[in-house]
Structure 1
Amino acid sequence: MQFSRAGDGRERPGSVVDMEWIADPMDAGGWLRERLDDDWSMHHFVPHGFEAYARIFHPAEVRSLPDRAVPTMDEWVRMPDAEQQRLMEQFVDEPASWADAAAAFGTTVHALAQWQHLVRTPTDGDWRSRIAPDGREFSSPSEGEMSPELLAAIARHLVAHTSTPDAGYAALWEGRGGLLGFFGEGPSRGFYEFTDDLAHAQVLGQSFRDRFNNPFRKPKWQPGILSDEISKGPRLELPDRNHVLFAAAPAAFADPDWILDAPWRDREAEGHGFDPSAQHPSILWPADRAWVMVSEIDFDSTIVAGSNELIRAICADPPIEALPIREGSSLHWDADDINR
């Protein structure tokens, strides 16, 4: 379920950015499959055959309090309501780099670093939220996506290292809830609405109960963000991941507002009060195949494959936390041999 909040209603009337669905995705993207491996190195998702590779670390988040350590969950549940409220009003949440986390936990950022080891997660601990010795709480980076602003910063380097900045492709993983239509008993997601109207609340409650109280209901077609034609159409089939493929100029992603032009913009969520959003592309590449950017859905980092010059430029850009990574590297959860 998603909880609605105020959206900003942004639009870009008259935009000329054009992203068209590719009805024959294997013709345009089949070359990727030929360069992927069946093992679980990064090349299960990232193609071989490029001069160099960069690992871009997705930002984490850090929470702090001005006069004390962030409470643990056990401390929080024992705390009086008034104290909880006081602390919630004082929380400061900020983006955090992997270098920030490493400094806080006394570990090392390197090309094969794994977040759970970087924040010294015990065997039975939760790596998604860890409190550092200095009392700050670090939350894990997002997987398979980054902010439009970070993508734009990366894309500015990408477009400078291709002869076809106005022609390329964007592949979307098919499994994100709500993206595609499907046959089922109810939508793949719902939106909670808050109301003081008792009758309206009862209707909303009944609508959710009805979806689960009839196990013999016949499945019917549930529309998605994309059209029925696209939902039922062919996929770019890669190892363990199928994608919907669009023609998309790499230059379009150099503007954080690319989400306003994307055919997969989530207008249904906007109708429930959410800000404009669009699923992050899992794979981007230009028509000349000078580089490939892969944001694998289970990776907390993005890999760019390209020329030595491109990789050096990305790794030297301060807003982008990135390191060169060797071809053939593994990003498996136990690949970090330094932070043990």
Structure 2
Amino acid sequence: MFVHRDPPPSVYGRLRVQRHLTPARWLVRRLSRDGRFGTVAAVCAPGFEAYARILHPARLGTEPVRWDRVAPLHGRTVSAATRWHELIGLTDRLMYRNDDTPAVPGVWDEHPDEGPTPPDVARALVPVLSRHTGTADRCWFGLWEGYGHYDWDGVPVFATPGRDEILLAGALEDADSPARDTGGVPPELPDLWWPQDRAWCVGGDVDLVSTYVGGSAACVAELLATPGLEAYEVRATAAVD
């Protein structure tokens, strides 16, 4: 069946689509050398001092719900290695994808978002990350070309483990602009973010319910302490969720 897709835009939110991929070469080199598929380092980038896993919240209506609020209802606790489907008592993540699990009335009614960083999580990340780079006004972003709304055929891509990414450019404060500024277009945010000085790297994926950040120990420590984030320190070699 033919599915209509719009021509590729020159601007995605407030982020500018790039046709020269030089700014992504460092990332491709690191990933090809040390980014073993299925690990934290392969989702963001290898080589950082520390890493954080940011959990995407469940929802009650439009309100975010932390995993550690859900866990006690199932006699469990949350750790850096917790998987959502196991937290709510399932043996297979496809079960909740197929809506085979009931929500908990008054606690949550929507599973955590799979995919790149949710907009509210992105907005909590931005001020922390801006304090840990000297180039917050000049950042680069990777957007998976497979999200489907646009026909990206002909736009250059760079390779990450299992994905081909469109390169975008803009300020860190505009990382969530696709959700704010594109009207009816599906609001997928970029999967990858990094500043010009490469002080940190943010990574997500269409199949994950977590975002991963590699950076300095000080950056990760601040992320873990940020009230609007449910974050845990992880190893670069740890398996993703």
Give the shorter-chain TM-score range: 0.7 to 0.9
Match of 2:69 in 1: 100
Match of 1:58 in 2: 56
Identity of aligned residues (%): 30
Structural mapping, 1:259-274, within 5 Å: 259-260=179-180, 265=182, 267=183, 269=184
- 1:239 offset after TM fit, Å? 2.1
- 1:58 offset after TM fit, Å? 0.2
Structural mapping, 1:189-204, within 5 Å: none
Instruction: Give yes or no for contact 1:33–1:239 (8 Å, CA) kept in 2.
Output: no
- 1:258 offset after TM fit, Å? 6.1
Instruction: Give yes or no for contact 2:44–2:192 (8 Å, CA) kept in 1.
Output: no
Match of 2:195 in 1: 286
Secondary structure in structure 1 of the residue aligned to 2:47? coil
- 1:40 offset after TM fit, Å? 2.5
- 1:94 offset after TM fit, Å? 4.3
Structure 1 residues 278 and 125, CA gap change in structure 2 (3 angstroms): closer
1:252 aligns with 2:174: yes
After TM superposition, the structure 1 stretch with the greater mean CA deviation from structure 2, 162-171 or 30-39, is 30-39
Instruction: Give yes or no for contact 2:159–2:165 (8 Å, CA) kept in 1.
Output: yes
- 1:257 offset after TM fit, Å? 5.2
Structure 1 residues 115 and 124, CA gap change in structure 2 (3 angstroms): closer
- 1:145 offset after TM fit, Å? 2.9
Structure 1 residues 280 and 104, CA gap change in structure 2 (3 angstroms): same
Instruction: Give yes or no for contact 1:131–1:137 (8 Å, CA) kept in 2.
Output: no
Instruction: Give yes or no for contact 1:105–1:120 (8 Å, CA) kept in 2.
Output: yes
1:24 aligns with 2:20: yes
* Rounded Cα–Cα distance in structure 2 between residues aligned with 1:131 and 1:98: 16
Match of 1:41 in 2: 39
Task: Provide the aligned C-alpha RMSD in A.
Answer: 2.6
**1:179 partner letter:** Y
Match of 1:241 in 2: 163
Deviations 1:16-56 (A, max 9, x none): x963222122x111211222224422233221110110100
Secondary structure in structure 1 of the residue aligned to 2:25? helix
Aligned length: 224
Instruction: Give yes or no for contact 2:50–2:233 (8 Å, CA) kept in 1.
Output: yes
* Rounded Cα–Cα distance in structure 2 between residues aligned with 1:123 and 1:19: 37
Return the TM-score normalized by structure 1: 0.60
Structure 1 residues 122 and 295, CA gap change in structure 2 (3 angstroms): closer
Q: Which runs of 5+ in 2 are unaligned?
A: 1-12
Match of 1:299 in 2: 208
**1:29 partner letter:** A
- 1:117 offset after TM fit, Å? 0.7
Secondary structure in structure 2 of the residue aligned to 1:20? strand
**1:288 partner letter:** D
* Rounded Cα–Cα distance in structure 2 between residues aligned with 1:113 and 1:154: 21
Match of residue 318, structure 1, among 220, 227, 239: 227
Structural mapping, 1:145-224, within 5 Å: 145-180=116-151
- 1:123 offset after TM fit, Å? 5.7
**2:26 partner letter:** W
- 1:303 offset after TM fit, Å? 0.3
Structure 1 residues 106 and 171, CA gap change in structure 2 (3 angstroms): same
- 1:125 offset after TM fit, Å? 8.1
Q: Which runs of 5+ in 1 are unaligned?
A: 1-16, 63-91, 182-230, 271-276, 333-340
* Rounded Cα–Cα distance in structure 2 between residues aligned with 1:147 and 1:132: 20
Secondary structure in structure 2 of the residue aligned to 1:323? strand
Return the TM-score normalized by structure 2: 0.82
